[in-house]
Chain A
Amino acid sequence: MSTTDTPLRIDGLSKHFGGLTAVDDLSFEVRDGEILGFIGPNGAGKSTVFNCIMSVYGASEGAVYLNDEDVTGWDTHEIVNHGLARVSQESNPIDTMSVEDNIRLFTLPNSPFAFTGGADHEEIVSIADRVELADKLGEMPGSMPHADVRRLEIAKAIATDPDILLLDEPFAGLNQAEIRDLSEEIREFREEGMTLVVVDHNMKGLMALVDRVIVLNEGRKIADGTPEEIADDEQVQRAYLAGAV
Protein backbone atom coordinates (compact mmCIF):
# COMPACT_ATOMS: atom_id res chain seq x y z
CA MET A 1 0.00 0.00 0.00
CA SER A 2 1.34 3.39 -0.90
CA THR A 3 1.84 6.17 1.59
CA THR A 4 0.30 8.80 -0.64
CA ASP A 5 -3.13 9.37 -2.19
CA THR A 6 -1.62 9.66 -5.67
CA PRO A 7 1.10 7.01 -5.97
CA LEU A 8 1.61 7.93 -9.65
CA ARG A 9 1.25 11.41 -11.10
CA ILE A 10 2.05 12.56 -14.62
CA ASP A 11 2.55 16.29 -15.08
CA GLY A 12 2.63 17.96 -18.51
CA LEU A 13 4.20 14.97 -20.25
CA SER A 14 5.09 15.35 -23.93
CA LYS A 15 6.99 13.05 -26.22
CA HIS A 16 8.13 14.04 -29.70
CA PHE A 17 9.64 11.66 -32.21
CA GLY A 18 11.22 14.01 -34.71
CA GLY A 19 8.31 16.11 -35.99
CA LEU A 20 5.67 13.73 -34.64
CA THR A 21 4.06 14.47 -31.30
CA ALA A 22 3.06 11.13 -29.78
CA VAL A 23 2.10 12.52 -26.38
CA ASP A 24 0.99 16.14 -26.00
CA ASP A 25 1.07 17.90 -22.62
CA LEU A 26 -0.58 15.04 -20.78
CA SER A 27 -1.38 15.26 -17.09
CA PHE A 28 -3.19 12.72 -14.95
CA GLU A 29 -2.92 11.02 -11.61
CA VAL A 30 -3.50 7.51 -10.39
CA ARG A 31 -5.30 7.26 -7.04
CA ASP A 32 -4.24 4.88 -4.35
CA GLY A 33 -5.95 1.50 -4.52
CA GLU A 34 -7.93 2.10 -7.70
CA ILE A 35 -8.10 0.17 -10.94
CA LEU A 36 -7.66 2.81 -13.61
CA GLY A 37 -8.55 2.11 -17.22
CA PHE A 38 -6.32 3.84 -19.72
CA ILE A 39 -7.92 3.61 -23.09
CA GLY A 40 -7.70 5.07 -26.54
CA PRO A 41 -7.73 3.93 -30.14
CA ASN A 42 -4.66 2.32 -31.67
CA GLY A 43 -1.91 4.89 -32.07
CA ALA A 44 -3.33 7.18 -29.38
CA GLY A 45 0.01 7.14 -27.55
CA LYS A 46 -0.86 4.81 -24.67
CA SER A 47 2.26 2.66 -24.91
CA THR A 48 4.43 5.75 -25.43
CA VAL A 49 3.12 7.18 -22.15
CA PHE A 50 4.06 3.95 -20.41
CA ASN A 51 7.45 3.82 -22.07
CA CYS A 52 8.11 7.35 -20.82
CA ILE A 53 6.95 6.45 -17.31
CA MET A 54 9.27 3.42 -17.26
CA SER A 55 12.15 5.42 -18.80
CA VAL A 56 12.32 3.20 -21.85
CA TYR A 57 12.29 6.57 -23.64
CA GLY A 58 13.14 9.89 -22.12
CA ALA A 59 10.22 12.33 -21.93
CA SER A 60 10.59 15.40 -24.13
CA GLU A 61 8.84 17.59 -21.54
CA GLY A 62 7.05 17.08 -18.27
CA ALA A 63 7.58 15.02 -15.18
CA VAL A 64 6.65 11.68 -13.65
CA TYR A 65 6.07 11.50 -9.89
CA LEU A 66 6.13 8.16 -8.12
CA ASN A 67 4.97 8.29 -4.49
CA ASP A 68 5.41 12.09 -4.71
CA GLU A 69 9.03 11.77 -5.82
CA ASP A 70 10.14 13.12 -9.18
CA VAL A 71 11.44 10.03 -11.00
CA THR A 72 11.70 11.60 -14.47
CA GLY A 73 14.77 10.26 -16.22
CA TRP A 74 15.54 7.59 -13.63
CA ASP A 75 16.76 4.26 -14.96
CA THR A 76 14.12 1.57 -15.48
CA HIS A 77 15.52 -0.61 -12.70
CA GLU A 78 15.36 2.31 -10.24
CA ILE A 79 11.72 2.92 -11.08
CA VAL A 80 10.93 -0.77 -10.62
CA ASN A 81 12.68 -0.77 -7.26
CA HIS A 82 10.63 2.30 -6.33
CA GLY A 83 7.43 0.26 -6.53
CA LEU A 84 6.27 0.47 -10.14
CA ALA A 85 6.11 -2.63 -12.34
CA ARG A 86 4.88 -2.99 -15.87
CA VAL A 87 3.61 -5.89 -17.90
CA SER A 88 4.34 -4.82 -21.42
CA GLN A 89 2.36 -5.69 -24.50
CA GLU A 90 5.06 -7.95 -25.86
CA SER A 91 6.04 -10.96 -23.77
CA ASN A 92 9.76 -11.19 -23.29
CA PRO A 93 10.63 -14.18 -21.15
CA ILE A 94 14.17 -15.55 -21.09
CA ASP A 95 13.61 -18.55 -23.35
CA THR A 96 16.63 -20.50 -22.14
CA MET A 97 15.41 -20.43 -18.51
CA SER A 98 12.60 -22.30 -16.83
CA VAL A 99 9.47 -20.52 -15.65
CA GLU A 100 10.83 -20.79 -12.11
CA ASP A 101 14.14 -19.09 -12.99
CA ASN A 102 12.29 -16.47 -15.02
CA ILE A 103 10.29 -15.54 -11.93
CA ARG A 104 13.30 -15.87 -9.63
CA LEU A 105 15.22 -13.35 -11.70
CA PHE A 106 12.64 -10.73 -10.73
CA THR A 107 13.21 -11.37 -7.01
CA LEU A 108 17.00 -11.17 -7.00
CA PRO A 109 18.82 -8.50 -5.02
CA ASN A 110 20.17 -5.71 -7.22
CA SER A 111 23.84 -6.25 -6.45
CA PRO A 112 26.68 -8.00 -8.29
CA PHE A 113 27.98 -9.10 -4.88
CA ALA A 114 24.75 -10.77 -3.78
CA PHE A 115 25.57 -14.34 -4.74
CA THR A 116 22.69 -15.67 -2.66
CA GLY A 117 19.25 -14.31 -1.82
CA GLY A 118 16.09 -13.79 -3.80
CA ALA A 119 12.96 -15.89 -3.53
CA ASP A 120 13.27 -19.56 -2.57
CA HIS A 121 11.24 -22.31 -4.20
CA GLU A 122 8.26 -21.94 -1.84
CA GLU A 123 8.06 -18.21 -2.39
CA ILE A 124 8.19 -18.67 -6.15
CA VAL A 125 5.42 -21.26 -5.92
CA SER A 126 3.25 -18.78 -4.03
CA ILE A 127 3.92 -16.02 -6.58
CA ALA A 128 3.15 -18.38 -9.47
CA ASP A 129 0.04 -19.59 -7.66
CA ARG A 130 -1.47 -16.10 -7.82
CA VAL A 131 -1.63 -16.39 -11.61
CA GLU A 132 -2.25 -20.16 -11.70
CA LEU A 133 1.21 -21.07 -12.94
CA ALA A 134 2.36 -23.03 -9.90
CA ASP A 135 2.23 -26.36 -11.73
CA LYS A 136 4.27 -25.09 -14.68
CA LEU A 137 7.42 -23.90 -12.92
CA GLY A 138 9.58 -26.52 -14.61
CA GLU A 139 8.45 -25.68 -18.13
CA MET A 140 10.33 -23.59 -20.66
CA PRO A 141 8.48 -20.44 -21.80
CA GLY A 142 8.99 -21.28 -25.47
CA SER A 143 6.87 -24.41 -25.18
CA MET A 144 3.94 -22.84 -23.34
CA PRO A 145 0.64 -21.60 -24.80
CA HIS A 146 0.17 -17.84 -25.24
CA ALA A 147 -2.07 -17.41 -22.20
CA ASP A 148 0.50 -19.06 -19.92
CA VAL A 149 3.29 -16.85 -21.26
CA ARG A 150 1.12 -13.82 -20.48
CA ARG A 151 0.57 -15.20 -16.97
CA LEU A 152 4.33 -15.55 -16.59
CA GLU A 153 4.74 -11.87 -17.53
CA ILE A 154 2.31 -10.91 -14.76
CA ALA A 155 4.01 -13.26 -12.28
CA LYS A 156 7.36 -11.60 -13.05
CA ALA A 157 5.91 -8.14 -12.48
CA ILE A 158 4.27 -8.99 -9.15
CA ALA A 159 7.47 -10.77 -8.07
CA THR A 160 9.06 -7.30 -7.80
CA ASP A 161 6.40 -6.57 -5.14
CA PRO A 162 5.04 -3.40 -6.75
CA ASP A 163 2.74 -0.75 -5.24
CA ILE A 164 1.51 0.04 -8.73
CA LEU A 165 1.16 -2.39 -11.59
CA LEU A 166 0.83 -1.20 -15.18
CA LEU A 167 -0.80 -3.76 -17.45
CA ASP A 168 -0.40 -2.99 -21.13
CA GLU A 169 -3.11 -4.72 -23.21
CA PRO A 170 -3.34 -7.67 -20.81
CA PHE A 171 -6.38 -9.17 -22.53
CA ALA A 172 -4.97 -9.24 -26.06
CA GLY A 173 -5.12 -12.71 -27.55
CA LEU A 174 -7.02 -14.25 -24.62
CA ASN A 175 -10.33 -16.08 -24.94
CA GLN A 176 -13.44 -15.19 -22.93
CA ALA A 177 -12.73 -17.61 -20.08
CA GLU A 178 -9.14 -16.43 -19.81
CA ILE A 179 -10.26 -12.78 -19.78
CA ARG A 180 -12.68 -13.57 -16.93
CA ASP A 181 -9.92 -15.31 -14.93
CA LEU A 182 -7.47 -12.50 -15.47
CA SER A 183 -10.05 -9.86 -14.48
CA GLU A 184 -10.62 -11.80 -11.27
CA GLU A 185 -6.88 -11.90 -10.59
CA ILE A 186 -6.60 -8.15 -11.18
CA ARG A 187 -9.36 -7.55 -8.63
CA GLU A 188 -7.50 -9.78 -6.17
CA PHE A 189 -4.32 -7.75 -6.64
CA ARG A 190 -6.27 -4.62 -5.76
CA GLU A 191 -7.69 -6.27 -2.67
CA GLU A 192 -4.14 -7.05 -1.61
CA GLY A 193 -3.39 -3.32 -1.73
CA MET A 194 -2.00 -2.87 -5.21
CA THR A 195 -2.95 0.06 -7.42
CA LEU A 196 -3.52 -0.94 -11.04
CA VAL A 197 -3.53 0.77 -14.40
CA VAL A 198 -4.96 -1.29 -17.23
CA VAL A 199 -4.35 -0.20 -20.80
CA ASP A 200 -6.62 -1.34 -23.58
CA HIS A 201 -7.75 -0.07 -26.94
CA ASN A 202 -11.07 -1.80 -26.45
CA MET A 203 -13.39 -0.05 -23.98
CA LYS A 204 -15.98 -2.74 -23.69
CA GLY A 205 -13.93 -5.36 -21.87
CA LEU A 206 -12.63 -2.86 -19.35
CA MET A 207 -15.85 -1.23 -18.24
CA ALA A 208 -16.83 -3.87 -15.69
CA LEU A 209 -13.34 -4.03 -14.23
CA VAL A 210 -12.21 -0.44 -13.73
CA ASP A 211 -13.21 2.27 -11.24
CA ARG A 212 -12.24 5.17 -13.45
CA VAL A 213 -11.26 5.67 -17.07
CA ILE A 214 -8.90 8.05 -18.80
CA VAL A 215 -9.30 8.32 -22.56
CA LEU A 216 -6.38 9.25 -24.73
CA ASN A 217 -6.63 10.31 -28.36
CA GLU A 218 -3.80 11.59 -30.55
CA GLY A 219 -1.58 12.01 -27.51
CA ARG A 220 -4.10 14.12 -25.54
CA LYS A 221 -6.43 13.32 -22.68
CA ILE A 222 -9.97 13.76 -24.00
CA ALA A 223 -11.95 12.38 -21.06
CA ASP A 224 -11.59 11.32 -17.44
CA GLY A 225 -14.42 9.82 -15.41
CA THR A 226 -16.35 6.77 -14.29
CA PRO A 227 -17.04 4.09 -16.91
CA GLU A 228 -20.65 5.28 -17.15
CA GLU A 229 -19.65 8.89 -17.77
CA ILE A 230 -17.13 7.84 -20.37
CA ALA A 231 -19.60 5.65 -22.21
CA ASP A 232 -21.90 8.69 -22.64
CA ASP A 233 -19.14 11.11 -23.60
CA GLU A 234 -19.63 12.43 -27.09
CA GLN A 235 -16.01 13.29 -27.71
CA VAL A 236 -15.02 9.76 -26.78
CA GLN A 237 -17.62 8.30 -29.08
CA ARG A 238 -16.33 10.40 -31.93
CA ALA A 239 -12.76 9.32 -31.32
CA TYR A 240 -13.88 5.74 -31.19
CA LEU A 241 -15.35 4.00 -34.19
CA ALA A 242 -17.82 6.80 -34.85
CA GLY A 243 -19.88 6.10 -31.76
CA ALA A 244 -19.97 2.33 -31.84
CA VAL A 245 -18.57 1.86 -28.33
Chain B
Amino acid sequence: MSESVTAVEEESSENVLGRVFNAEANRYQMGFLAVAFLGLITVPMWNPGWTYVFAFANIWVIFAVSWDIISGHTNYISFGHSFLSGLAAYTTALLTFNVDPNMSIYITFPVSVAVAVVAGLAFALPSLRLSGPYFSLLTFVSVLIATKAVYIFSGYTNGEMGISTVSVLTFDNTEMFYLTLVPALLIAAILLYISRSNVGLVLKAIGQNERAVESAGLDTTRFKLWGFIYSAIPMGVGGALLAHFFGNVEPIAFLIVDRSIEMIAIAAVGGMGTILGPVGGAYLLIFLRDELFRAFLGPNARWVALWSVVLILLVTSPDGLFTRFWRLLDRLGGGGSE
Protein backbone atom coordinates (compact mmCIF):
# COMPACT_ATOMS: atom_id res chain seq x y z
CA MET B 1 0.00 0.00 0.00
CA SER B 2 2.58 2.54 1.13
CA GLU B 3 4.87 1.44 -1.68
CA SER B 4 2.31 2.16 -4.34
CA VAL B 5 1.58 5.59 -2.86
CA THR B 6 5.27 6.43 -3.04
CA ALA B 7 5.41 5.20 -6.59
CA VAL B 8 2.55 7.47 -7.57
CA GLU B 9 4.19 10.41 -5.84
CA GLU B 10 7.45 9.75 -7.59
CA GLU B 11 5.82 9.73 -11.00
CA SER B 12 7.01 12.88 -12.70
CA SER B 13 4.70 15.34 -14.36
CA GLU B 14 6.25 14.27 -17.64
CA ASN B 15 4.91 10.75 -17.22
CA VAL B 16 1.43 11.94 -16.36
CA LEU B 17 1.39 14.22 -19.39
CA GLY B 18 2.86 11.45 -21.50
CA ARG B 19 0.19 9.01 -20.41
CA VAL B 20 -2.74 11.36 -20.83
CA PHE B 21 -1.64 12.85 -24.15
CA ASN B 22 0.14 9.79 -25.49
CA ALA B 23 3.10 12.06 -26.16
CA GLU B 24 6.76 11.38 -25.75
CA ALA B 25 8.17 14.83 -24.98
CA ASN B 26 11.82 15.27 -24.04
CA ARG B 27 12.96 17.74 -21.39
CA TYR B 28 13.50 20.55 -23.90
CA GLN B 29 10.01 20.12 -25.23
CA MET B 30 8.57 19.92 -21.72
CA GLY B 31 10.61 22.98 -20.74
CA PHE B 32 9.32 24.93 -23.73
CA LEU B 33 5.72 24.04 -22.92
CA ALA B 34 6.22 24.99 -19.26
CA VAL B 35 7.78 28.38 -20.09
CA ALA B 36 5.11 29.14 -22.69
CA PHE B 37 2.37 28.18 -20.25
CA LEU B 38 3.80 30.26 -17.40
CA GLY B 39 4.40 33.20 -19.72
CA LEU B 40 0.84 33.00 -20.97
CA ILE B 41 -0.95 32.81 -17.65
CA THR B 42 1.05 35.78 -16.31
CA VAL B 43 0.54 38.12 -19.29
CA PRO B 44 -1.50 40.67 -17.25
CA MET B 45 1.40 40.86 -14.76
CA TRP B 46 4.36 41.32 -17.07
CA ASN B 47 2.67 43.36 -19.78
CA PRO B 48 -0.77 44.71 -18.83
CA GLY B 49 -0.93 46.56 -22.16
CA TRP B 50 -1.20 43.24 -23.97
CA THR B 51 -3.91 41.80 -21.76
CA TYR B 52 -6.83 42.74 -24.01
CA VAL B 53 -5.23 41.43 -27.19
CA PHE B 54 -4.30 38.18 -25.50
CA ALA B 55 -7.83 37.82 -24.13
CA PHE B 56 -9.08 38.17 -27.70
CA ALA B 57 -6.44 35.68 -28.87
CA ASN B 58 -7.68 33.19 -26.26
CA ILE B 59 -10.98 33.02 -28.11
CA TRP B 60 -9.15 32.55 -31.40
CA VAL B 61 -7.28 29.65 -29.83
CA ILE B 62 -10.69 28.02 -29.39
CA PHE B 63 -11.59 28.60 -33.05
CA ALA B 64 -8.26 27.36 -34.35
CA VAL B 65 -8.12 24.13 -32.33
CA SER B 66 -11.79 23.41 -33.10
CA TRP B 67 -11.11 23.78 -36.80
CA ASP B 68 -8.02 21.61 -36.41
CA ILE B 69 -9.72 18.64 -34.76
CA ILE B 70 -11.86 18.05 -37.83
CA SER B 71 -10.19 19.69 -40.83
CA GLY B 72 -6.56 19.39 -39.69
CA HIS B 73 -7.08 15.69 -39.00
CA THR B 74 -9.50 14.40 -41.64
CA ASN B 75 -8.43 16.71 -44.49
CA TYR B 76 -12.07 17.69 -44.96
CA ILE B 77 -10.98 21.31 -45.18
CA SER B 78 -13.72 23.62 -43.93
CA PHE B 79 -13.63 27.08 -45.47
CA GLY B 80 -16.67 28.00 -43.46
CA HIS B 81 -16.05 27.42 -39.77
CA SER B 82 -17.09 31.00 -38.95
CA PHE B 83 -20.57 29.77 -39.93
CA LEU B 84 -20.55 27.67 -36.74
CA SER B 85 -19.15 30.30 -34.38
CA GLY B 86 -21.11 33.08 -36.09
CA LEU B 87 -24.37 31.19 -35.74
CA ALA B 88 -23.68 30.62 -32.04
CA ALA B 89 -22.90 34.33 -31.51
CA TYR B 90 -25.98 35.37 -33.47
CA THR B 91 -28.12 32.96 -31.45
CA THR B 92 -27.03 34.66 -28.25
CA ALA B 93 -27.57 38.08 -29.84
CA LEU B 94 -30.94 37.31 -31.42
CA LEU B 95 -32.31 35.84 -28.20
CA THR B 96 -31.38 38.93 -26.19
CA PHE B 97 -32.40 41.36 -28.95
CA ASN B 98 -35.68 39.80 -30.08
CA VAL B 99 -36.87 37.71 -27.17
CA ASP B 100 -35.72 39.00 -23.82
CA PRO B 101 -32.85 41.43 -23.22
CA ASN B 102 -32.43 40.01 -19.73
CA MET B 103 -32.35 36.40 -20.77
CA SER B 104 -29.84 34.54 -18.62
CA ILE B 105 -26.50 33.56 -20.09
CA TYR B 106 -27.20 30.14 -18.59
CA ILE B 107 -29.95 29.80 -21.19
CA THR B 108 -28.45 31.66 -24.15
CA PHE B 109 -25.03 29.99 -23.89
CA PRO B 110 -26.14 26.35 -24.11
CA VAL B 111 -28.73 27.17 -26.78
CA SER B 112 -26.00 28.89 -28.83
CA VAL B 113 -23.72 25.88 -28.53
CA ALA B 114 -26.59 23.60 -29.54
CA VAL B 115 -27.18 25.71 -32.65
CA ALA B 116 -23.49 25.43 -33.54
CA VAL B 117 -23.74 21.65 -33.21
CA VAL B 118 -26.72 21.59 -35.56
CA ALA B 119 -24.70 23.72 -38.00
CA GLY B 120 -21.75 21.33 -37.58
CA LEU B 121 -23.98 18.39 -38.47
CA ALA B 122 -25.15 20.34 -41.50
CA PHE B 123 -21.48 20.33 -42.56
CA ALA B 124 -21.03 16.69 -41.63
CA LEU B 125 -23.86 15.31 -43.73
CA PRO B 126 -22.48 16.44 -47.10
CA SER B 127 -19.03 15.20 -46.03
CA LEU B 128 -20.47 11.70 -46.28
CA ARG B 129 -20.89 12.20 -50.02
CA LEU B 130 -18.60 15.07 -50.99
CA SER B 131 -14.90 15.43 -50.40
CA GLY B 132 -12.01 17.61 -51.50
CA PRO B 133 -12.88 20.93 -53.14
CA TYR B 134 -16.61 20.10 -53.32
CA PHE B 135 -16.86 19.80 -49.58
CA SER B 136 -14.78 22.95 -49.05
CA LEU B 137 -16.92 24.91 -51.49
CA LEU B 138 -20.06 23.87 -49.69
CA THR B 139 -18.76 25.14 -46.34
CA PHE B 140 -17.60 28.35 -48.02
CA VAL B 141 -21.00 28.94 -49.61
CA SER B 142 -22.84 28.44 -46.32
CA VAL B 143 -20.92 31.40 -44.85
CA LEU B 144 -21.77 33.54 -47.86
CA ILE B 145 -25.45 32.68 -47.49
CA ALA B 146 -25.46 33.30 -43.74
CA THR B 147 -23.73 36.66 -44.17
CA LYS B 148 -26.27 37.81 -46.74
CA ALA B 149 -29.09 36.52 -44.54
CA VAL B 150 -27.95 38.87 -41.78
CA TYR B 151 -28.56 41.82 -44.12
CA ILE B 152 -31.80 40.43 -45.56
CA PHE B 153 -33.28 39.91 -42.10
CA SER B 154 -31.91 43.15 -40.72
CA GLY B 155 -35.19 43.74 -38.93
CA TYR B 156 -34.09 41.00 -36.54
CA THR B 157 -30.32 41.22 -36.88
CA ASN B 158 -29.91 44.98 -37.17
CA GLY B 159 -27.85 44.35 -40.31
CA GLU B 160 -24.43 45.88 -40.57
CA MET B 161 -24.65 47.70 -37.24
CA GLY B 162 -25.25 44.50 -35.38
CA ILE B 163 -26.91 43.70 -32.10
CA SER B 164 -25.52 45.31 -28.95
CA THR B 165 -27.89 43.87 -26.37
CA VAL B 166 -25.42 41.15 -25.41
CA SER B 167 -23.97 41.62 -21.94
CA VAL B 168 -20.20 42.11 -21.81
CA LEU B 169 -18.68 39.59 -19.41
CA THR B 170 -16.53 42.20 -17.69
CA PHE B 171 -14.92 45.54 -18.48
CA ASP B 172 -11.81 44.60 -16.54
CA ASN B 173 -9.19 43.42 -19.04
CA THR B 174 -7.44 41.16 -16.56
CA GLU B 175 -10.69 39.46 -15.61
CA MET B 176 -11.60 39.10 -19.27
CA PHE B 177 -8.22 37.56 -19.94
CA TYR B 178 -8.73 34.81 -17.39
CA LEU B 179 -12.40 34.29 -18.26
CA THR B 180 -11.32 33.52 -21.82
CA LEU B 181 -8.03 31.78 -20.95
CA VAL B 182 -9.58 29.07 -18.81
CA PRO B 183 -12.05 27.81 -21.45
CA ALA B 184 -9.39 28.17 -24.17
CA LEU B 185 -6.85 26.02 -22.33
CA LEU B 186 -9.51 23.56 -21.23
CA ILE B 187 -10.78 23.11 -24.79
CA ALA B 188 -7.24 22.89 -26.16
CA ALA B 189 -6.39 20.24 -23.56
CA ILE B 190 -9.50 18.17 -24.32
CA LEU B 191 -8.98 18.37 -28.07
CA LEU B 192 -5.27 17.55 -27.63
CA TYR B 193 -6.33 14.47 -25.67
CA ILE B 194 -8.76 13.47 -28.43
CA SER B 195 -6.13 14.15 -31.09
CA ARG B 196 -3.59 11.89 -29.39
CA SER B 197 -6.17 9.19 -28.63
CA ASN B 198 -7.51 6.38 -30.79
CA VAL B 199 -10.15 8.72 -32.13
CA GLY B 200 -7.50 11.18 -33.33
CA LEU B 201 -5.60 8.34 -35.00
CA VAL B 202 -8.76 7.27 -36.84
CA LEU B 203 -9.57 10.84 -37.91
CA LYS B 204 -6.04 11.25 -39.26
CA ALA B 205 -6.26 7.92 -41.06
CA ILE B 206 -9.57 9.04 -42.60
CA GLY B 207 -7.66 12.05 -43.91
CA GLN B 208 -5.24 9.72 -45.69
CA ASN B 209 -7.35 6.85 -46.95
CA GLU B 210 -10.98 6.50 -46.02
CA ARG B 211 -11.51 3.12 -47.64
CA ALA B 212 -8.54 1.62 -45.81
CA VAL B 213 -10.08 2.76 -42.52
CA GLU B 214 -13.35 1.00 -43.44
CA SER B 215 -11.43 -2.21 -44.02
CA ALA B 216 -10.08 -1.86 -40.48
CA GLY B 217 -13.65 -2.46 -39.32
CA LEU B 218 -14.13 1.20 -38.42
CA ASP B 219 -17.31 3.06 -39.30
CA THR B 220 -15.88 6.12 -41.05
CA THR B 221 -19.33 7.73 -41.32
CA ARG B 222 -19.81 7.65 -37.57
CA PHE B 223 -16.27 8.86 -36.86
CA LYS B 224 -16.71 11.77 -39.26
CA LEU B 225 -20.06 12.77 -37.77
CA TRP B 226 -18.58 12.79 -34.28
CA GLY B 227 -15.47 14.55 -35.50
CA PHE B 228 -17.70 17.39 -36.67
CA ILE B 229 -19.50 17.40 -33.32
CA TYR B 230 -16.19 17.46 -31.43
CA SER B 231 -15.39 20.52 -33.55
CA ALA B 232 -18.81 22.20 -33.41
CA ILE B 233 -19.23 22.13 -29.63
CA PRO B 234 -16.14 24.25 -28.90
CA MET B 235 -16.88 26.43 -31.96
CA GLY B 236 -20.21 27.21 -30.31
CA VAL B 237 -18.52 27.95 -27.00
CA GLY B 238 -16.03 30.24 -28.75
CA GLY B 239 -18.73 32.03 -30.75
CA ALA B 240 -20.93 32.69 -27.72
CA LEU B 241 -17.87 33.75 -25.72
CA LEU B 242 -16.88 36.20 -28.44
CA ALA B 243 -20.40 37.67 -28.33
CA HIS B 244 -19.95 38.34 -24.62
CA PHE B 245 -16.42 39.62 -25.26
CA PHE B 246 -17.52 42.46 -27.56
CA GLY B 247 -21.14 42.86 -26.45
CA ASN B 248 -21.97 43.65 -30.07
CA VAL B 249 -22.57 40.98 -32.68
CA GLU B 250 -22.22 42.08 -36.29
CA PRO B 251 -21.25 40.32 -39.53
CA ILE B 252 -17.68 41.60 -39.94
CA ALA B 253 -16.17 40.39 -36.67
CA PHE B 254 -18.27 37.26 -36.37
CA LEU B 255 -19.36 35.79 -39.64
CA ILE B 256 -17.71 36.89 -42.89
CA VAL B 257 -15.64 34.35 -44.72
CA ASP B 258 -12.42 36.25 -43.88
CA ARG B 259 -12.82 34.92 -40.33
CA SER B 260 -12.99 31.35 -41.63
CA ILE B 261 -9.86 31.86 -43.69
CA GLU B 262 -8.07 33.26 -40.63
CA MET B 263 -8.90 30.08 -38.73
CA ILE B 264 -7.29 28.02 -41.50
CA ALA B 265 -4.28 30.33 -41.67
CA ILE B 266 -3.74 30.13 -37.91
CA ALA B 267 -3.93 26.34 -37.92
CA ALA B 268 -1.69 26.04 -40.97
CA VAL B 269 0.91 28.48 -39.66
CA GLY B 270 1.02 26.65 -36.32
CA GLY B 271 0.89 23.16 -37.78
CA MET B 272 -2.25 21.38 -38.94
CA GLY B 273 -3.33 18.29 -37.08
CA THR B 274 -1.25 19.02 -33.99
CA ILE B 275 -3.70 21.07 -31.84
CA LEU B 276 -0.74 22.64 -30.02
CA GLY B 277 0.38 24.26 -33.27
CA PRO B 278 -2.90 26.13 -33.79
CA VAL B 279 -2.73 27.28 -30.14
CA GLY B 280 0.63 28.91 -30.84
CA GLY B 281 -0.54 30.11 -34.25
CA ALA B 282 -3.51 31.91 -32.72
CA TYR B 283 -1.39 33.87 -30.24
CA LEU B 284 1.20 34.66 -32.90
CA LEU B 285 -1.12 35.92 -35.63
CA ILE B 286 -3.56 37.78 -33.38
CA PHE B 287 -0.62 39.44 -31.60
CA LEU B 288 0.96 40.47 -34.90
CA ARG B 289 -2.29 41.78 -36.32
CA ASP B 290 -3.80 43.54 -33.33
CA GLU B 291 -0.73 44.61 -31.36
CA LEU B 292 2.50 44.79 -33.32
CA PHE B 293 1.21 45.79 -36.78
CA ARG B 294 -1.47 48.02 -35.32
CA ALA B 295 1.24 50.03 -33.59
CA PHE B 296 3.03 50.81 -36.87
CA LEU B 297 0.58 50.33 -39.69
CA GLY B 298 -2.74 51.69 -40.85
CA PRO B 299 -5.95 49.63 -40.85
CA ASN B 300 -5.41 48.28 -44.38
CA ALA B 301 -1.65 47.96 -44.30
CA ARG B 302 -1.69 45.77 -41.21
CA TRP B 303 -3.89 43.23 -43.01
CA VAL B 304 -1.50 43.26 -45.95
CA ALA B 305 1.38 42.74 -43.53
CA LEU B 306 -0.44 39.92 -41.75
CA TRP B 307 -1.32 38.01 -44.91
CA SER B 308 2.21 38.53 -46.25
CA VAL B 309 3.61 36.98 -43.08
CA VAL B 310 1.17 34.08 -43.45
CA LEU B 311 2.25 33.58 -47.07
CA ILE B 312 5.93 33.59 -46.19
CA LEU B 313 5.42 31.17 -43.30
CA LEU B 314 3.34 28.80 -45.42
CA VAL B 315 6.06 28.71 -48.07
CA THR B 316 9.00 28.40 -45.67
CA SER B 317 7.37 26.08 -43.09
CA PRO B 318 4.60 24.17 -44.82
CA ASP B 319 4.27 21.78 -41.86
CA GLY B 320 3.81 24.69 -39.48
CA LEU B 321 6.06 26.68 -37.20
CA PHE B 322 5.20 24.67 -34.15
CA THR B 323 5.83 21.35 -35.85
CA ARG B 324 9.19 22.62 -37.05
CA PHE B 325 10.17 23.98 -33.65
CA TRP B 326 9.04 20.76 -31.94
CA ARG B 327 11.29 18.71 -34.23
CA LEU B 328 14.18 21.05 -33.52
CA LEU B 329 13.73 20.49 -29.78
CA ASP B 330 13.46 16.78 -30.47
CA ARG B 331 16.85 16.80 -32.19
CA LEU B 332 18.31 18.89 -29.35
CA GLY B 333 17.18 16.19 -26.96
CA GLY B 334 18.91 13.60 -29.12
CA GLY B 335 15.64 12.08 -30.35
CA GLY B 336 15.56 10.59 -33.80
CA SER B 337 11.82 10.25 -34.14
CA GLU B 338 10.39 11.89 -37.25
Contact = CB atoms under 8 A, between A and B. Distances in A.
A118 B217 contact: no
B184 interface: no
Given A94-B208, A96-B204, A97-B204, A116 B216 contact: no
Contacts of B24: none
B204 A108 contact: no
A153 to B, nearest CB: 10
B148 interface: no
A207 to B, nearest CB: 29
Interface string B203-241: 011001101111111111111011100000000000000
B145 interface: no
B88 interface: no
A109 B201 CA distance: 12
SS class, residues of chain A in contact with chain B: loop
A111 B222 CA distance: 8
A112 B215 contact: no
A211 B318 CA distance: 54
A153 B183 CA distance: 43
Give the residue among B193, B211, B217 with the most A Cβ atoms within 10 A. Answer: B217
B202 interface: yes
B201 A108 contact: yes
B74 to A, nearest CB: 12
A137 interface: no
Interface residues of A, number: 34
Contacts of B209: 92, 94
SS class, residues of chain B in contact with chain A: helix
Given A75-B219, A76-B214, A77-B218, A115 B205 contact: no
Contacts of B212: 92-94
B211 A92 contact: yes
A96 B208 contact: yes
A164 to B, nearest CB: 14
Give the residue among B194, B201, B220, B223 with the most A Cβ atoms within 10 A. Answer: B201
B218 A110 contact: yes
Contacts of B214: 75-77, 80
Contact of A101 (B201, B217, B226): B201
Contact of A156 (B201, B208, B211, B216): B216
Nearest to A76: B214
B213 A105 contact: yes
A220 interface: no
B98 interface: no
Interface in A102-142: 104-106, 108-118
Contacts of B205: 94, 97, 105
Contacts of B219: 75, 77-78, 110
B201 A105 contact: yes
A95 interface: yes
A160 interface: yes
Nearest to B214: A76
A86 interface: yes
A75 B211 CA distance: 11
A115 B217 contact: no
A156 B205 CA distance: 14
A237 interface: no
Contact of A116 (B198, B225, B226): B198
A117 B198 contact: yes
Contact of B198 (A56, A77, A108): A108
A112 B217 contact: no
A117 B198 CA distance: 8
Give the residue among A95, A109, A115 with the most B Cβ atoms within 10 A. Answer: A115
A114 B198 contact: yes
Given A81-B217, A92-B211, A96-B208, A112 B201 contact: no
A160 B199 contact: no
A115 B199 contact: yes
B197 interface: yes
A105 B216 contact: yes
Contacts of A196: none
Contacts of B194: 115
A160 B217 contact: yes
B215 A54 contact: yes
The 4 A-B residue pairs with the shortest CB-CB distance, nearest first, are A112-B226, A80-B217, A115-B197, A76-B214
Interface of B: 193-194, 197-199, 201-202, 204-205, 208-209, 211-223, 225-227
Given A104-B201, A160-B216, 19 more contacts: A56-B211, A75-B214, A75-B221, A76-B211, A78-B219, A80-B216, A80-B217, A81-B217, A85-B215, A86-B215, A92-B212, A94-B205, A96-B208, A105-B213, A106-B216, A110-B217, A115-B198, A116-B197, A160-B217
